[in-house]
A and B are shown apart, each in its own frame.
Chain A
Amino acid sequence: MRLKTRTPEVLDRIIHERARLSILSALAAAEELSFPEVQGITGLTDGNLSVQLRTLEAAGYVALRKSEAGGRSARTAVRLTQAGRRAFRGYLEALRRIIGKVRP
């Protein structure tokens, strides 16, 4: 006879880090955001935001798009990919399950 056991929730470690979680949360609420907009919302420094975006891009969770802005330096726009949206949703569900386990 097999016993039913509770499996521990597996959280996506890429999303779990708070800086990256705040970036994905902002992108989940907007179709596309510019680099300064993400910075303004999350409060991350230039360097930290660049590093976190590269990590998220390598995981396939965000897509970066550079565009020339009227002869000035390139502007970077960031958006969630389908994989990123799925992963974010999965992370949210995992959090809710963890909270739900202790609620009556």
Chain B
Amino acid sequence: MHPEQAEDQLALIRATMERTTRFTGLPGYSCLIAGALALAGAGIAALLGAEFPARGATGGRHAALAWIWGAVCLAGAAQFVVLSVLAAARQGRSAWSHLARRVVVAVLPGLYVGAALTEFARRSDRLDILPALWCLGYGASLLGLGLYAGWKANVAGLLFLAAGSLALLGAVPGGNLLMAVAFGGFHVLLGTLILAGHDHAPENPDA
């Protein structure tokens, strides 16, 4: 065998292995809807005057906040699952593929840390830092997703981490404004990037 042919065979192996570990099941429309839901949540919270209370502040509409952002979170997750399953069915593949299972394992630690810190903040009466903590946990999850989904998820993850860090340090405002910018704006950006991208068709060894 000529070395050039060996190079060709190695290139085929490399490309196939990369394709096997590349997650393309992230629907762009789902990210746009998640962004729209977060923007709607921030708008409703503003209309109801339900703002995350400053440290040590008494009163406030905690129940309204919990309902609004709980509903946004549930609706966002539900539409993501439904759209992912529909997209997979359209492409004739299973939504619960070997790669989807790996992705779930990669994103869970970030979500778990976000949930644990939420409980800590609640018990410590530090609801003011919740949006920043959610950004950090979600950003870490997106970076886990980026291991398989590529640079677009990484960009969004880094933006969430930056926004959460700056808000935690007091350099940028937190509260519903941060929720709107991060969970609204960054999701819309991610969805737009995904929809604007073009995936190349796999090389056909039949040819």
Given A26-B20, A30-B98, CB of A95 within 8 Å of CB of B10: yes
A window 75-94: CB within 8 A of B: 92
Q: Which residues of B contact A22 (CB under 8 A)?
A: 12-13, 16, 205
Q: Are B202 and A43 in contact (CB under 8 A)?
A: yes
The 0/1 profile, CB within 8 Å of A marked 1, for residues 1-36 of chain B is 101001101101100110111000000000000000
Given A22-B16, A42-B16, A98-B6, CB of A36 within 8 Å of CB of B203: no
Q: Which residues of B contact A9 (CB under 8 A)?
A: 1
Residue B124 lies at the interface, judged by CB distance under 8 Å to chain A = no
A window 12-57: CB within 8 A of B: 16, 18-19, 21-22, 25-26, 28-34, 36-37, 40-45, 48
Distance between Cα atoms of A16 and B92 in the complex (Å): 29
Report the minimum CB–CB distance from A23 to chain B (whole Å). Answer: 8
Residue in contact with B97 in the complex, picked from A25, A34, A45, CB distance below 8 Å: A34
Residue in contact with B20 in the complex, picked from A30, A96, A102, CB distance below 8 Å: A30
The 0/1 profile, CB within 8 Å of A marked 1, for residues 151-178 of chain B is 0000000000000000000000000000
Count the A-B residue pairs with Cβ separation under 8 angstroms: how many?
87
Residue in contact with A18 in the complex, picked from B20, B91, B205, CB distance below 8 Å: B205
Residue B196 lies at the interface, judged by CB distance under 8 Å to chain A = no
Given A37-B98, A44-B206, CB of A29 within 8 Å of CB of B10: no
| Chain A: CB-nearest residue to B99 | A30
Given A33-B98, A34-B94, A36-B93, CB of A41 within 8 Å of CB of B1: no
Distance between Cα atoms of A28 and B93 in the complex (Å): 20
Report the minimum CB–CB distance from B19 to chain A (whole Å). Answer: 5
| Chain A: CB-nearest residue to B1 | A98
Report the minimum CB–CB distance from B168 to chain A (whole Å). Answer: 38
Residue B204 lies at the interface, judged by CB distance under 8 Å to chain A = yes
Report the minimum CB–CB distance from A15 to chain B (whole Å). Answer: 9
Given contacts A32-B98, A101-B3, 20 further A-B contacts (CB under 8 A): A21-B16, A21-B205, A33-B20, A34-B97, A36-B94, A37-B97, A40-B91, A40-B93, A41-B16, A41-B19, A42-B202, A42-B204, A42-B205, A44-B204, A92-B10, A92-B13, A95-B6, A98-B6, A99-B3, A99-B6
- Please list the 6 inter-chain residue pairs (A to B) with the smallest Cβ-Cβ separation, ordered nearest first: A25-B16, A43-B204, A29-B20, A29-B17, A98-B6, A19-B205
